[in-house]
Structure 1
Amino acid sequence: MSKATIKQVAAEAEVSTATVSRVLNESGYVSPEVKERVFGAIAKLNYQPSAIARSLKQDKTFMIGVVVPDISNPYFMGISRGIEDVVGPEGFQLLFCSSDESPEKEARLLQLLYEKRVDAIVLATSGGNAARIGALAASGQPVVLVDRRLETDEDAPPLDLVAEDNAQSAYELTKALLDRGHIRIGVVNGLTRVSTGRERLEGVLRAMKERGLEDRLLVYSGDFSTDGGVRAVQRFLREKERPTAVVSLNNRMSHGVLLELVRCGLRIPGDMAVASYGEVEAGQLLKEPGLFYLDQAPYDMGLKAGEILLRRIRKEDGPAEPFNEIFHHEVKQIR
């Protein structure tokens, strides 16, 4: 069965195609009687407006591309839910993409979204694409960075950013372990090519240096993955002088740390204390875990990113400088 066209709707309602378009787009005056005829014709013919034609006419696709390193990570899903709750009621849909921490895949996804004419892009970058992202922004494509900063050349346009105070938060997390007497600490860090990996490690090092303990720190790159957290614990346990505490700098790696400690039959925190950058749900299942964690607010970050997106898409007057929203978090403990 062939799809009905706008011309067929107009003929059925005995109006012009322009009148049908005004009714559908709610633009211009149309009498209630005519509207009733048009909607009646639409229902009778089961007419479905073309989204492509609508986007061309309005110069909008009502699609927002979201590129994150891992779409299965609850942290990034929390951000995305916040964005959706802001832009969804305004008629926008989110198109989710996972870069898998690959700069090459991220570059392909950015090009695809640009070709699909999305109205804006939300990006938690995997690094290595500063020039490409700068060119997108310079072309007029709204780009809002979340979680991770972009290292750009001086000539690149400034970009909106919603992120955390990574260095200070990691400092406070490490300090919580130091204040309880731990001096031999293993840190599971993420990728240092991205800002979160660099900044969080800087915070840990600052806390250790303040106590004169920087030479007592063991650093392992866990690649922001659960397997990375598992491998880190395996490495720490092979040390002649094991650390008495582990600070893990993202929730995925923290999950791996907890899994491997439990598999090895170690008590948390009796045998090994743990501090996690981000809450880990599995920590609730442990008996008296004493787990320290950073109480992040990904949903609130998403809400703020959504507000910025709408302002940019609508070309509302914004600040001369880009929006720069930095969230500060509190260290808590599961008892």
Structure 2
Amino acid sequence: MLKATIKEVAAEAEVSTATVSRVLNNSLKVSEEARRRVNAAIAKLNYEPSAIARSLKQDRTFMIGVIVPDITNPYFMEISKGIEDTVGQSGFQLMFCSSDENTDKESRLLQLLNEKRVDAVVVATAGGNGSKIAGMSRSGLPVVLIDRTLENVDGLSELDLIAEDNAAGAYMLAKRLLEDGHTAIGVVNGPSWVSTGRERYEGVLRALNEFGIEQPPLVYNGDFTVEGGVRAVRRFWQSNRKPTAIVSLNNRMTFGVLLELIRKGQHIPTDVAIASFGEVEAGQLLKNPKLYYIDQQPYDMGKRTGELLLSRMDKQNQNADPHLEIFSHQIKCIP
């Protein structure tokens, strides 16, 4: 069955197409009688306004592109939910994309969003696409970096950024383990080419230096996945000096760490203490775990990102100074 057109609605209501348009746009320049007839015709014909036509007329698609490394990661899901809850109130929808920590795939996704004429882009970047992202921003497209910074290229200093204080959070985790008397610490880090991986590792090293630990820690650079945490524990247990504590710098990897330690019959924290960048809900299933974690605020970060996007899409605020917002942390413990 063919969809009704605005001309058919106008004919049914015995008004002009301009009058139908005014009713659809809630204009006050329509008599109550004409408004009644138009609404009755819309209901009778089951008319639905064309989103494409609206976007062409308003020069907007009402779509915002969101690129994250892994759309199944609860952390990025919460960020996305915060964005969606905020911009949705203004009629915008999100187009989600997952880069899988792949620079080339992220580049293709950026191109796709550009071709789809999205009204703004949010990127938690896998790295390596700084020039392309900066170019999109220079063309007038609002771009907000979330969670991660980019390599130093011209134009990136002009981008908005909402992120966490990664170095400080990792420092607090490592310091707590050191205060508990641990000196043999294993570090499960993310990719070194990603800003979060670099910054969090720097925080761990600062804590070790402050406590006079000269021997380099055992380090496994994972990929922010559960499997990465599993592989890290296997690598550590092949070492001549097994760690008495592990600081895992991503909650997905922490889950993998816990899985593999339990498989090996290790008890937490009596055999191995754990400190995680981000809460791992499965930790609550352990008996007396005393599992330290950084309390992240992804939903609040998403809300602030959504508010910033709405501001940037307002032409009056497009040329405002770049916005930098860094979320601080608290360290907590399960139970």
Aligned residues of 1:173 and 1:294 also touching (Cα < 8 A) = yes
Helix, strand or coil at the partner of 1:126: coil
TM-fit CA distance, 1:85 = 1.2
Mapping 1:67-216, distance limit 5 Å: 67-156=67-156, 158-216=158-216
Q: CA deviation at 1:233?
A: 0.3
The answer for the alignment partner of 1:259 in structure 2 is 259
**Corresponding residue for residue 51 of structure 2:** 51
Alpha-carbon distance in structure 2 between the residues aligned to 1:184 and 1:95:
45
Indicate the SS of the match to 1:215: coil
The verdict on how the C-alpha distance between 1:214 and 1:310 changes in structure 2, with shifts beyond 3 A counting, is farther
Could you tell me which amino acid in structure 1 is paired with residue 35 of structure 2? K
Q: Which residue of 1 aligns with 2:286?
A: 286
| Aligned residue number for residue 234 of structure 2 | 234
Q: Deviation of residue 321 (structure 1)?
A: 2.5
Range 21-30 or range 312-321, more displaced: 312-321
Question: What is the deviation of 1:240?
Answer: 1.1
Give the residue type in structure 2 aligned to 1:204: V
What stretches of structure 1 move > 2 A for 4+ residues in a row? 154-157, 315-321
Is contact 2:137–2:143 with CA below 8 Å preserved after alignment?
A: yes
Q: Is the contact made by 2:23 and 2:38 (CA closer than 8 Å) also made in structure 1?
A: yes
Contact 1:205 1:214 in 2 (8 A): no
Contact map agreement 2:233 2:257 (CA 8 A) in 1 = yes
Question: Is the 1:293–1:332 Cα contact (8 Å) retained in structure 2?
Answer: yes
Q: Please state whether the residue corresponding to 2:315 is helix, strand or coil.
A: coil
Equivalence for 2:23 = 23
Contact 1:184 1:216 in 2 (8 A): no
Aligned letter for 2:88? Answer: G
Structure 2 Cα separation of the partners of residues 252 and 228 of structure 1: 8
Closer/same/farther in 2, CA of residues 167 and 95 from structure 1, 3 Å limit: same
Name the amino acid aligned to 1:290: K
SS of residue matched to 1:312: helix
1:292 partner SS: strand
TM-score by length of 2: 0.97
The amino acid across from 2:125 in the alignment is T
CA distance in 2 between partners of 1:229 and 1:187 (Å): 10
Alignment CA distance shift 1:124-1:236 (3 Å):
same
The whole-number CA distance in structure 1 between the counterparts of 2:170 and 2:294 is: 8
| Structure 1: distance between partners of 2:28 and 2:106 | 42
Identity %: 66
Paired residues of 2:134 and 2:154 also in contact (CA < 8 A)? no
Distance in 1 separating the partners of 2:43 and 2:87: 28
In structure 2, the CA distance between the partners of 1:135 and 1:258, relative to structure 1 (3 Å rule), is same
Separation in 2, partners of 1:286, 1:216:
30
- Aligned partner of residue 144 in structure 2, secondary structure: strand
1:194-222 C-alpha deviation (Å, 9 max, x unpaired): 11011000000111111121424111111
How far the C-alpha of 1:317 sits from its partner, in A, is: 2.9
In structure 1, the partner of 2:13 is 13
Looking at structure 2, the residues matched to 151 and 91 of structure 1 have their Cα atoms a distance apart, in angstroms, of: 33
Moved more, 315-324 or 271-280: 315-324
Q: Which runs of 5+ in 1 are unaligned?
A: none
The change in CA–CA distance for 1:130 and 1:314 in structure 2 (over 3 A counts) is same
Residue 312 (structure 1) aligns with: 312
The amino acid across from 2:193 in the alignment is R
Which amino acid is the alignment partner of residue 43 of structure 1? A
TM-score of the superposed pair, with normalisation by structure 1: 0.97
Q: Which residue type is aligned with residue 213 of structure 1? A: I
Maintained 8 Å contact 2:269/2:291: yes
CA contact 1:183–1:216 (8 Å) conserved in 2: no
Please give the alpha-carbon distance, in whole angstroms, between the structure 2 residues aligned to 1:156 and 1:329.
25
AA in 2 matched with 1:241? R
Instruction: Tell whether the 8 Å contact from 1:9 to 1:45 is kept in structure 2 after alignment.
Output: yes
